[in-house]
Chains A and B, each alone.
Chain A
Amino acid sequence: GIQVEQSPPDLILQEGANSTLRCNFSDSVNNLQWFHQNPWGQLINLFYIPSGTKQNGRLSATTVATERYSLLYISSSQTTDSGVYFCAVKSGGTSYGKLTFGQGTILTVHP
């Protein structure tokens, strides 16, 4: 099956810093989502981005499908950005709607 690798595994920032999270995948995809899991365990949809670039406030994401990677940018980080960021993908050959998740990037933002 498709493999998803996220980097870095852990990231510690001071409030106000910028960061880039990376997601590499091993096969072509027709669905890619970024999620934020907050400290209470809730999974929050950030982006549906199988290709191209999207922005939502301080967050933006870019997926280069031909090179099989996606990037999540967080600018001017805040303590509320802390949590785990997951990339999840679906390739055309997988079961209906099945998402394969990466291991996540644990982000800690200190005040």
Chain B
Amino acid sequence: NAGVTQTPKFQVLKTGQSMTLQCAQDMNHNSMYWYRQDPGMGLRLIYYSASEGTTDKGEVPNGYNVSRLNKREFSLRLESAAPSQTSVYFCASRNTPGETQYFGPGTRLLVL
């Protein structure tokens, strides 16, 4: 099993450009999450999907949209990137009723 995979690993954008971060898991987990990590801080939840077909806002959703394409895939879209969105983005998944979240390797995004 690959676990949780994310693409791309690194991306540079100019202000105003759009892009989609991809996440996939092969553990047949129901719930998936997108977090961002800023320097010197822990992770903050952007959006989550409790199950296929549902999505909900987390702590810091502004400027982002998500799509739960199927049970395996959960994408994060930046419609108009801003320098404040420079961060490392982590995708995670969790099987219910289990509680442990498993994290992908992260995507480093730089917005100039």
Contact partners of A99 in chain B: CB under 8 A: 33, 43, 45, 101
- Residue from the set A30, A43, A50, A103 with the largest chain B CB neighbour count within 10 Å: A43
Provide the B60-98 mask, 1 if CB < 8 A to any CB of A, else 0: 000000000000000000000000000010100010100
Within 8 A of B (CB), among A74-103: 86, 88, 90, 95-99, 101-103
The yes or no answer to B26 lying at the interface (CB within 8 A) is no
Q: How far is the CA of A95 from the CA of B90 in the complex (A)?
A: 18
* A41 and B105 contact, CB distance less than 8 A: yes
* A88 and B42 contact, CB distance less than 8 A: yes
Q: How far is the CA of A102 from the CA of B41 in the complex (A)?
A: 8
The yes or no answer to A51 lying at the interface (CB within 8 A) is no
- Of B41, B56, B100, B106, the contact of A33 (CB 8 Å cutoff): B100
* B103 and A43 contact, CB distance less than 8 A: yes
Describe B's contact surface by its main secondary structure: strand
Q: Report the interface size class on chain A.
A: 20 to 34
Provide the A26-47 mask, 1 if CB < 8 A to any CB of B, else 0: 0000110101000001110100
Q: Given contacts A97-B94, A101-B42, A103-B41, is CB(A33)–CB(B48) below 8 Å?
A: no
* A41 and B106 contact, CB distance less than 8 A: yes
- Of A45, A95, A98, A103, the contact of B100 (CB 8 Å cutoff): A45
Contact partners of A88 in chain B: CB under 8 A: 42-43, 101
Shortest distance between the CB of A48 and any CB in chain B (Å): 4
Shortest distance between the CB of B23 and any CB in chain A (Å): 14
19 A-B interface contacts by CB (under 8 A): A4-B42, A30-B99, A43-B90, A43-B103, A45-B101, A45-B102, A45-B103, A48-B99, A86-B42, A88-B101, A96-B48, A97-B33, A97-B96, A98-B33, A98-B45, A98-B48, A99-B43, A99-B45, A102-B42
Residues of A within 8 A of B (CB): 4, 30-31, 33, 35, 41-43, 45, 48, 50, 86, 88, 90, 95-99, 101-104
